[in-house]
Amino acid sequence: MAVSSLQVNIAGVKLNNPLILASGTAGFGEEISRFYPLENVGAIACKGTTLEPRDGNPPPRIAETPSGIINSVGLENPGADRFINDYLPWLNMQKAVVIANIAGSTQEDYCALAEKFNDTAVDMVEMNISCPNVKSGGLAFGTSCQSVAQITRTVRSHCSKPLIVKLSPNVADIAEIAIAAESEGADALTLINTITAMKIDIQTRRPILRNNIGGLSGPAIFPIAVRMVWQTAAKVKIPVIGAGGISSWQDAVEIMLAGAAAFQIGTANFTDIYTPREVLKGLDEYLEANRLKSVNEIVGGVRAW
């Protein structure tokens, strides 16, 4: 019987375990709930939601690579009102901890979205300023300290929920971007989103993706996520949520040792829907084997040279 605790606290919100389903890989939870109860995971970060419904980019939108996928979905989603009215009540009935991932083309969009979620049963808001697949907004807000500081400050003043800022790896110095977000009121950070990438069909000479480029996720980017979490967690006081290619319990332990207080599982949900179950089982056994009472004891525990 397990005696170690997997419970973590992110920005005042208690999660039964540190595993969060990454935005864009679990929709709004319905499909995944056919395989296991959503209350088994720490939280679900729902698909990036905009003010109005979006169809996303034209297909093809996914390209497979040897160790991951490149997507250019373009934030297809049903819009904030539909999320709040149709999906959220159901998610609450599942006893899931719900993170609304918000995305917009303008700062005003993000503020209006934050306000919409203030009076809902969403537990946290994850501000996506790192989507590489949209023409306006997205990544454009997330690549300079100045723009990250400005949007965080502005959205913070409209948001009464714990505010997570999801950062892009497509920057020179992620730690300084993280500090900019923290100094303007972010309660937690998620890193990393996808890395801009491209794949070309050598017969047709055309890019596989209709958008030409997209964002690479999956095991290929895991060591980069570990490096960025390690560099960032040492420099901020707020919790860092690790994301990027985590596919096994060993990866989960590794990213927590690098400094992540929790972690997200994304692309691995597509290769094996039961990845979260296996990761939580392995994590629990690791704690037991190392006689640790709480998963929090491994956070930042790397013995760097």
Main-chain dihedrals φ then ψ at residue 113, nearest 5 degrees: -65, -45
224: left (phi over 0), alpha (psi -120 to 50) or beta: alpha
Q: Which spans of this chain sit near ligand SIN (rule: CB under 6 A)?
A: 24, 48, 71, 73-75, 128, 130-131, 133, 193-194, 215
Task: Give the shortest CB-79-to-ligand SIN separation in angstroms.
Answer: 14
Residues linked to residue 207 through DSSP beta bridges, in sequence order: 200
Whose Cβ is closer to ligand SIN: residue 84's or residue 192's? 192
- Alpha-carbon gap, residue 29 to 98, rounded angstroms: 10
SS3 sequence, 233-277? HCCCCCCEEECCCCCCHHHHHHHHHCCCCEEEECCHHHHCCCHHH
Catalytic residue chosen out of the listed positions 46, 131, 145, 159: 131
Active site residue 111: no
Task: Give the shortest CB-104-to-ligand SIN separation in angstroms.
Answer: 12
Task: Give the shortest CB-260-to-ligand SIN separation in angstroms.
Answer: 19
Distance of CA 164 to the CA centre of its chain: 9
- Alpha-carbon gap, residue 139 to 133, rounded angstroms: 8
- The candidate with the shortest Cα–Cα distance to 268, out of 242, 244, 295, is 244
Q: Locate 134 and state its tokens.
A: 């949209």
81 near 114, Cβ under 8 Å? no
Task: Give the shortest CB-194-to-ligand SIN separation in angstroms.
Answer: 5
- The candidate with the shortest Cα–Cα distance to 170, out of 133, 126, 219, is 133
Task: Give the shortest CB-75-to-ligand SIN separation in angstroms.
Answer: 4
Active site residues: 131
